[in-house]
Chains A and B, each alone.
Chain A
Amino acid sequence: MRESVLRGAVLAVAVLSLIVGSSVLVATDWVLEMLPPDLVVGLEAFGQLALYLLLALVLAQSYRIARQRLLTPPAETTFPRRETATPVPVPGDDLAATVESVRDRSDETFETVRRRLQELARGLLEDRDRTGDAATDAIAAGTWTDDTLAAGLLDDSEGPPSRPLRERIRLALDLPSRQAPRELRRTMSAIAATATVPVESAEFASQPRVHTAGAEDEPTSEPEIPDGDRLPTGHWHGVTVVAFVGLVGGILYQQPPIVVAAAVGIGFAAYANIELDRDLEVTVERAVSDATPEPGADVDVVLSVRNEGDRRLADLRLVDGVPPDVAVVDGSPRLGTSLAPGESTAITYTITARRGTHEFEPVVLVDRPVTGAAERLESVSPETAPSITCQPTAPPLASSDELPLRTQGGRRAGSLATTDSGPGLEFHSVRAYQPGDAVGRIDWNRYARTNELSTVSFHDERSAVVIPAIDARRDAYYTPEFFAGEHAVDRSVTGAASAVDTLLTERHSVGLASIGPEPLWLSPGTGDAHRERARALLTSHDSIDPRPPASAGYDLGQFERLPSDAQLLLFSPLCDDTILEIVRTLRARGPSVAIVSPDPTTTDDPARAVAHLERSRRIDEVRGLGVPVVDWAWDRSFEDALRRAR
């Protein structure tokens, strides 16, 4: 309000001086005759003074405007980034980030990482058939590696480590803040070399990292979008400086062309102020080539937009609401166009389908007047094709014998039979009647023949109760290829789907569970309806969403409902130590546990190699507890991995 009053006042004074000035210009002689000579002389002198004062003010004002233009970027809408799926880290990336944040040796983190590496090195040395003491001695003496720097870092000696001359020269030249991380990197590489793991690069991979620990601090993909308001962009801010500088320069150097050129600045400033305000009237429609695709299949999305208003939309920009967890693989979900009334246009792009139900977000539209001086933002949700649903593939296994389930006494998870005799369907043996045997099981034919009572036994029929459990804590969301999309939890779900399908086909009782902040639980059951229920849960239950949960916590409460004879088939990448605790807790509750572990680790930088080695050690530790582990390499199919583990 105050601003518009001020603007009006300035314009009024401008118009007044324009009128007076023009009249003086057009009718110079007449005006001069009208005025007394003294006043004319006075006005000339006053004009001279006022002119220079004016020029100084104008220069000050142009400085302010130029400064503001250079310091503040135009206020433009930042479009959401919809092309890539929510990224998940590669195992070891969090360690790399920790190491990079270490400033010097006195840092607490440095000691934490050093202890962790020491622990790993000792474990690896012990595995190479040395006794515990020998491994500790080797680390203390620094004889475990040829790298003196790495050896010096891990021995517990006080004071600065002894360094060879070349290292000392390098140290003198290096920035202090780079030294500690570099030494830790060297040590990691040395440890990997001890375990004969080839590390592809001595530096950390430079791709953008996702810090699982600080995920709350990361800006979420959706920026705040004020809807429907008309916001000035400031596109033309600063053009008036041309007018000011032209005026001042032209007058001081007495060059009329420069003064005329100043008019260009005023002209564009006026052009920028043209108000072209109107409502945004558009219809947006979306079509997908397949609403229920297979995972990994390409789905074409066509988004069409039509101008329903009666004016041209000169500069319409939009981005489609691609679901956050799918990646665009071809084309672009964005468009910049100009639409006459009634005109429509369309964009086509391709996304790769991924397990789960993926809802499209609203389309974000930005309408700019042709001058670019303002923006109006709106989000529209087309009613057509609101989501795609993608069931996980479940390649069936040849038989449930492939799964690492156990024979517990007679309770082998065979399709029907156990080695025990008892009630059932399939003939097992005949024995002498004992009081208490069911009348229905007495062999009456034999009684008629021999006059002796005998009892027929059948194979004891007990189906196994198996509960595939998916580790879906935040620390299970890891992938070996940063932008590939598929991660360890996706793999686990595929494996669990195969297991569920196979076990249900063989008439076992199958449940379903997950480990995470808000876990999934399906009580064991059989039958086709149960199969559909399990499949639906595996497709789109929130706890096994393709997107990592915000919280790192987990809840094991659902396992208290576990039948005592149930077997847990745990799917976990085993990428952190908490999972060891979980396995111990679950075993303490009674059920037998077997683990299928998709391996998302790589060895392409030192920290990732360390994560790879730590995972191998973790597998050994779990096996030491008597839990069978199937190590599922990333490039193998589930069935292949199971066969190799047998």
Chain B
Amino acid sequence: MNAANPPDGSPAILSAWLAVCLAAIGWASTVPWSIHGVATASIGWFLLALALLVGDRTVLTVGAAGLVLAVFVSAGDGAGVATVLTGTTASILAWDIGHNAISVGRQLGREAPTVRAELAHALASLTAGCAIVVLGTAGSLLVAGTQPLLAVALLLLAGALIAVALAPRETLSFEWPS
């Protein structure tokens, strides 16, 4: 008699492996460009895998942040736009799918059939990621060369404000400390 157990918090296997593979893409995008980037990415990848072994969301976020930072560092050391876009997207996808793995693991556990739900989420995120990479590459081709500072500042302001508007509601409002 093998008693069925309630979920113990172990992340769902398929999503966890997908996340680790995507993190590998993020890691690989730093390799040719920067030794510092590779070092940071390695730590990030390791933390991400560790988080998916034990099912810890905080460590997962820290690991994914390390990967994104590593991609930025390698961009500073000469990585191209397409590489940087791919690396960043892959890292964010690893974070997203890793979180989903933990979520499925906590709600349903490894003994339940969850492949279809995991695949649906992962495929949708991958599609969105690919679209972002394509749009980003195309956009960067349009805006090439030196630009007037005013235009850059205004565009950045627009980008930042959009990001603020899309951010979680708790961080949308400011309350001045009294």
A: which residues have CB within 8 A of B? Answer: 3, 6-7, 10-11, 13-15, 17-18, 20-22, 24-25, 28, 32, 43-44, 47-48, 50-51, 54, 57-58, 61, 64-66, 68-70, 72-74, 76-79, 81-84, 233-247, 249-251, 253, 255-273, 314-317, 319, 327-338, 345, 347, 349, 352, 366, 368, 370-372, 483
The answer to whether A242 and B61 touch across the interface, beta carbons within 8 angstroms, is no
Residues 60-76 of B, flagged 1 when their CB comes within 8 A of A and 0 if not, give 01100100110110011
Cβ contacts under 8 Å, A263 to chain B: 85, 132, 135-136, 139, 159
- For B85, B139, B149, B157, the residue with the greatest tally of chain A CB atoms inside 10 Å of its CB is B157
The answer to whether A261 and B85 touch across the interface, beta carbons within 8 angstroms, is yes
Quick one: closest A residue to B140, CB to CB?
A260
Cβ contacts under 8 Å, A7 to chain B: 165, 172
The answer to whether B155 and A25 touch across the interface, beta carbons within 8 angstroms, is yes
Please give 7 more A-B residue pairs, beta carbons under 8 A apart, in addition to A32-B148, A336-B117.
Answer: A11-B161, A249-B76, A267-B135, A269-B162, A315-B120, A337-B114, A338-B116
Quick one: closest A residue to B87, CB to CB?
A261
**Interface residues on chain B, size class:** 35 or more
A266 and B140 in contact (CB under 8 A), knowing A51-B149, A54-B156, A261-B71?
A: no
Chain B: interface secondary structure? helix
A32 to B116, CA, bound (A): 57
The answer to whether B121 and A315 touch across the interface, beta carbons within 8 angstroms, is yes
The answer to whether A268 and B120 touch across the interface, beta carbons within 8 angstroms, is no
Q: Which of A20, A233, A251, A329 contacts B4 (CB 8 A)?
A: A329
Q: Which of B99, B106, B113 contacts A235 (CB 8 A)?
A: B99
Can you spell out 28 A-B residue pairs with CB atoms less than 8 angstroms apart? A6-B172, A11-B165, A14-B165, A17-B154, A25-B148, A44-B150, A47-B153, A51-B149, A64-B171, A76-B106, A77-B107, A78-B106, A78-B107, A79-B108, A237-B167, A251-B156, A268-B128, A268-B129, A269-B162, A269-B166, A271-B128, A314-B121, A314-B124, A327-B4, A328-B4, A332-B111, A336-B107, A337-B117
Cβ contacts under 8 Å, A54 to chain B: 153, 156-157, 160
A265 and B109 in contact (CB under 8 A), knowing A14-B157, A371-B124?
A: no
Quick one: closest A residue to B97, CB to CB?
A372
In the complex, chain B residues 61-104 whose Cβ is within 8 Å of any chain A Cβ = 61-62, 65, 68-69, 71-72, 75-76, 79-81, 83-85, 87-89, 92, 95-96, 99-100, 103-104
Quick one: closest A residue to B79, CB to CB?
A257
The answer to whether B136 and A267 touch across the interface, beta carbons within 8 angstroms, is yes
The answer to whether A247 and B160 touch across the interface, beta carbons within 8 angstroms, is yes
The answer to whether B107 and A76 touch across the interface, beta carbons within 8 angstroms, is yes
A383 to B123, CA, bound (A): 35
Quick one: closest B residue to A24, CB to CB?
B151
Q: Which of A18, A315, A328, A336 contacts B113 (CB 8 A)?
A: A336
A264 and B89 in contact (CB under 8 A), knowing A14-B157, A17-B154, A54-B156?
A: yes
The answer to whether A269 and B153 touch across the interface, beta carbons within 8 angstroms, is no
Quick one: closest A residue to B74, CB to CB?
A257
Cβ contacts under 8 Å, A51 to chain B: 149, 152-153, 156
For residue B84, give the distance in angstroms from its CB to the closest CB of chain A: 4
Cβ contacts under 8 Å, B85 to chain A: 257, 260-261, 263-264
Cβ contacts under 8 Å, B162 to chain A: 11, 14, 266, 269-270
The answer to whether B150 and A43 touch across the interface, beta carbons within 8 angstroms, is yes
Chain A: interface secondary structure? helix
The answer to whether B154 and A18 touch across the interface, beta carbons within 8 angstroms, is yes
The answer to whether B171 and A235 touch across the interface, beta carbons within 8 angstroms, is no
The answer to whether A319 and B108 touch across the interface, beta carbons within 8 angstroms, is yes
For residue B142, give the distance in angstroms from its CB to the closest CB of chain A: 9
The answer to whether B150 and A335 touch across the interface, beta carbons within 8 angstroms, is no
3 tightest CB-CB pairs across the interface, nearest first? A21-B154, A336-B117, A336-B114
Say if the beta carbon of B5 comes within 8 Å of chain A. yes
The answer to whether B150 and A24 touch across the interface, beta carbons within 8 angstroms, is yes
Quick one: closest B residue to A236, CB to CB?
B96
Say if the beta carbon of B168 comes within 8 Å of chain A. yes
For residue B33, give the distance in angstroms from its CB to the closest CB of chain A: 10
Q: Which of A64, A69, A314, A352 contacts B61 (CB 8 A)?
A: A69
Quick one: closest A residue to B120, CB to CB?
A338
The answer to whether B112 and A253 touch across the interface, beta carbons within 8 angstroms, is no
For residue B63, give the distance in angstroms from its CB to the closest CB of chain A: 12
The answer to whether A332 and B81 touch across the interface, beta carbons within 8 angstroms, is no
The answer to whether B108 and A264 touch across the interface, beta carbons within 8 angstroms, is no
A260 and B139 in contact (CB under 8 A), knowing A54-B156, A251-B156?
A: yes
For residue B10, give the distance in angstroms from its CB to the closest CB of chain A: 13
The answer to whether B112 and A334 touch across the interface, beta carbons within 8 angstroms, is yes
Say if the beta carbon of B54 comes within 8 Å of chain A. no
Say if the beta carbon of B178 comes within 8 Å of chain A. no
Say if the beta carbon of B32 comes within 8 Å of chain A. no
Cβ contacts under 8 Å, A327 to chain B: 3-4
The answer to whether A267 and B132 touch across the interface, beta carbons within 8 angstroms, is yes
For residue B95, give the distance in angstroms from its CB to the closest CB of chain A: 8
A337 and B113 in contact (CB under 8 A), knowing A51-B153, A269-B167?
A: yes
A211 to B106, CA, bound (A): 25
Cβ contacts under 8 Å, A257 to chain B: 75, 79-81, 83-85, 140
The answer to whether A270 and B111 touch across the interface, beta carbons within 8 angstroms, is no
Q: Which of A68, A249, A366 contacts B171 (CB 8 A)?
A: A68
Cβ contacts under 8 Å, B100 to chain A: 235, 372
